[in-house]
Structure 1
Amino acid sequence: MTETQATESLDTEAVEGVSADDVPAEVTEVVAPTESETPGAVLRRAREARGQSIPDVVQVIRFSARQIEALERDDYASLPGSTAVRGLVRNYAKFLKLDAAPLLVQLEPAVPVPEADVRPPTNMGEAEQPTLVERVPPRFIVAGGVALLLALGGYWLATLPADGGLSSFLRGMSGGPAAVRSGSVAVPVVAPVVQPAPAVVAESAPVAENAASAPPPFAGLRVEFDDHSWIEIRDATQKVVFVGEYPAGTRQNVEGKAPFQVWVGRASGVRMFMGERSIDLKPHTREEVARFTVE
């Protein structure tokens, strides 16, 4: 037997002589792989446990299949903004009967809540002050018009010539001299004196001036919040022109180029207008999320 064969024989005998009891526990212990606990993984496992497909989810929460797939693999960069991501997680969890609060907490480091990139309304939803024309009662405007006509009439009478003016006209209407005898009593013909109307005219001028300078109503997209809600709006260039979470009472005019793509959370608490036309959000709302396009 050669030296090599002797060595291999000894190694084999040594291995066969070692029992399972002689092997340390930490060597025999196999570590099971842990499943990911990210928001996307939790939502995916919950969906699969319910036996539902991604198209089933799309029919209810009205987000696209591409967005659902991106959320389940935690690809937040492919989703339209952090506000939309949080709204998608909230509605997806509600659909799966899960508590959305811990998922949103896990989401915070990767998708922080952004600060609104538009100026908030200065009055924060308080009632707008009426214009001067709206504050003046209609009866005062009518009275001002009548006073203006009286003033013009008084001015016309005051400018008549002395020799052929109102006195001559009244004498001609009386059919004779300025005094008419009735029995033994002479009744003089007295011309009425018309006093020009005073200074009401000066007050009516600012009313007309303010009426002419009143700004026209806003013809673009306007959003009014009756309840706390989140919203994201993109214009025709895919630029985010309005985004954030706003309290009840907020009113905001949205600048941008139509058509607008709109996502609204808690849609029952939001009203939208295009010029003077009211937009009905109910046909576009599923699970309190409205998604539609405004031409």
Structure 2
Amino acid sequence: MENINENNTGQESNSAEIPGTSPGKMLREARELLGLSVMDVASQIKFAPRQIEALEADDYQRLPEAAFLRGFVRSYAKILHLDAETVLTALPQNKAVPAELIPGSVGEPFPDVNSVLRQNLNWLIAALLLAIIVAGLALWQFTAPPEQSPGQPRDTLVESPVSLPEEIQIKPEEPVPEAAVIEPEAPKTRPSTETEAPKRRHSIETDAPRTRPSAAAAQSSVEAAGTEASRVARQNQATASDTEPDASAPVISLRLEFSEESWAEIKDREGKILSSRIHAGGSEMRLSGRAPLSILIGNAPSVRLYFRDKEIDLAPYTRTSTQVAHLMLE
């Protein structure tokens, strides 16, 4: 009985000592006994070192609210192999949760982590939107020039053949009005001289010398007019012969194959446009005309030209800046 009483007395003395020991002191001594630093404990329980130091110093004003504080103490006691309930019992009930600490708890680790995550998420969304906008602008800039570049040579080529037929038509028309005006002048001069001569026959002899020179002048003007008319007629014949097609020029044939959309313009030796249009990819064109043939091809790398059953390499005749080939076939 005496031993039992002594044991009970020892237990009562130990239990009396526990309330006298602060939770912070119990945790600090256990940590030092295990040889752990504050940083070691902070890395295991995910709390800030300043909060661990505040708990060990029993400074509850710097600690979070009651729910977090009890979980904090449980985690700390667990890694130090202490009885968590014993440490929790030692917490002062009247100082556990001050009312004024509730607003300040926003700055503690858990709220800080959430705010950082939200902030990072906002920055990530803004960066993605900016990247999408930049990618859209870059795609528009890369795709816009290919749509416009083929259009420029097309406009130039459509305008150039229109002027050629006008020049050919104007040349034979210029001398025709001159010949028409000069040829009828000869008969007009003769009647005027003949009518004036009878009127003046009854005049005195002194008038005769005046009439004779005028008649001679009229005769010379008629001869000059006839000479000019014949010269103009010969010029008209020469011009007409130049514009007439040469029947002796050989007729040649060619074939064009288009792997992509391209345009082609072919003229014969007189400048007549045999074909001028856009060809779809996969199409083929066969053509014949009097040599030499002037050939103009847009988007030349996608076109194959065959002449006398042989393919002609268009690369030597192609401008790299415009991809337009120009050559003559005889």
TM-score range, shorter chain: under 0.3
Bigger helix share: 2
Which TM-score applies when normalising by structure 2? 0.23
Relative contact order higher in (CA < 8 Å, ≥ 6 apart): 1
Which TM-score applies when normalising by structure 1? 0.25
Q: Which structure would you say has the larger Rg?
A: 2
